[in-house]
Amino acid sequence: MRRLMRLLSAYVWRQFLEVMAWREFVVTLTINQAITPLLGLAVWSAALPGRSGISTYYVALLVVQLMTVSYEHHTLSNGIYAGEFSNDLLKPHATVLPTLGMNVAMRIWHLLVGIPLIAALVLVVGVSLDARHSLLAVPALVLAAALRFVFTYALALSALWTQQAHWVVGFGETLIFLLGGSAAPITLFPEGVRPLGAALPFRAMLGFPAEIASGSLSGAEVLAGYGWQVLWLGALTATAAVVWRSGVRRYTAVGG
C-alpha cells in the first residue's frame, strides 16, 4: 500500500509539472468547468430572490466541481485509441495509476486556478459558511471525488469497444449536470422526484458535499447521504473492475 501511494504521489507530481507547460489552457478549462455552477447561481438567485442558502450552495458546488473534474475520456480513451495505452499495460504496477495521477494533478490545477474566482464570489454574493458544516463536508468531498473518477473511468473504458467513448462520457456528464445538483439543488426538485434524486449516484458525485456545506441537510439526511456515497462507490468500483477485465482482453495495438 505504501509503495502504491509513493508511486501515485510520483505520478501526481510528474503530471502536475507536465500540465504546467500548458497552464494557459488549464485556465480556459477551469472557466469552462465554472460556468454551470455560475449559471445555476444566477438562475436560482433570480428565480428565488432572497432565499437563504442558494449562494452558499452554488459557491460550495463550484469548489466541488473543480475538485472532482474528470477528463478520462481525454486521457484514458484517447490513449486507447492512439495505442499509447500499451505503455501503461507494460508497467509493473496497477494500470490505473498514471490515469489517476493525471486526474489528481488536473484537479489540483483547477482548484489553484479557481481560487481567485471562488474568493471573488465569496466577497460579491455573500456566502455564509459554518465551520462545523464545512468540516462535515470534507469526507463527502473526498468520496465524491473518488466516485466521479471511478464513474468516468468506467465510462471511458468504453473506448475498448467503441469509437464513441467521448459521447458515452458526455452522456454521463449530462446526467451529472441534470441529476447531480448543478441544474438545480436536489432539495429544490419536485417532491415526487426528490427521493430518487437523493438516492442516485449523481448527487453523491457533486451536490451532496455542497448541500452539507450550505447547511441545508439535517443530521439524518447527512448520514443517509454518506450511506449512499459508500454504497455507490462500492457498486461502481466493482462495475469498473468488471468492465476493465472484459475490456482489456479486447485491446489490440499496432506498432512498437
Choice between 102 and 233, CB closer to other proteins: 102
Q: Are 185 and 179 in contact (CB under 8 A)?
A: no
Residue 30: phi, psi to the nearest 5?
-65, -40
**In the complex, least distance from residue 35 CB atom to other proteins, rounded to whole angstroms:** 4
The one among 50, 92, 116, 190 contacting other proteins by CB under 8 A = 190
Q: Does 161 bind other proteins (CB under 8 A)?
A: no
Question: Does residue 177 belong to the site contacting other proteins (CB under 8 A)?
Answer: yes
The distance of closest approach from Cβ of residue 29 to other proteins in the complex, given in angstroms and rounded to an integer, is 6
SS3 140: helix
* Closer residue to other proteins, CB minimum distance, 100 or 159: 159
Q: Which of residues 76-135 bind other proteins (CB under 8 A)?
A: none
Residue 43 or 142 having the CB closest to other proteins: 43
Choice between 185 and 225, CB closer to other proteins: 185
Q: How many CB atoms lie within 10 A of CB 14?
A: 14
Considering the complex, state which of residue 87 and residue 164 has its C-beta at the smaller distance from other proteins: 164
Site for other proteins in 192-231 (CB under 8 A): none
Q: Of the candidates 52, 87, 128, 174, which one interacts with other proteins according to CB under 8 A?
A: 174
| Residue nearer to other proteins on the CB measure, 188 or 222 | 188
End-to-end CA distance of the chain: 32
Residues 2-31 that bind other proteins (CB under 8 A): 24-25, 28-29, 31
DSSP 128: -
Residues contacting other proteins: total by CB under 8 A: 30
Place of cell 489553484: 112
Q: Which residues contact 75 (CB under 8 A, 6 or more apart)?
A: 99, 102, 103, 156
| Residue from 164, 227, 242, 248 binding other proteins (CB under 8 A) | 164
CB pairs under 8 A, 24+ apart, for 114-121?
114/30, 114/33, 114/34, 114/62, 114/63, 114/66, 117/30, 117/34, 117/62, 118/59, 118/62, 118/63, 121/41, 121/59, 121/62
For residue 80, the minimal CB distance to other proteins (Å) is 17
Distance (Å, rounded) from C-alpha 1 to C-alpha 64? Answer: 27
Tell me which residues in 27-86 interact with other proteins (CB under 8 A).
28-29, 31-32, 34-36, 39, 42-48
Residue 76 host element (H or E): helix 72-82
Contact between 167 and other proteins per CB under 8 A: yes
Torsion 164-170-172-174 (CA) sign: negative
List residues near other proteins by CB under 8 A: 24-25, 28-29, 31-32, 34-36, 39, 42-48, 163-164, 167, 170-171, 174, 177-178, 183-184, 188-190
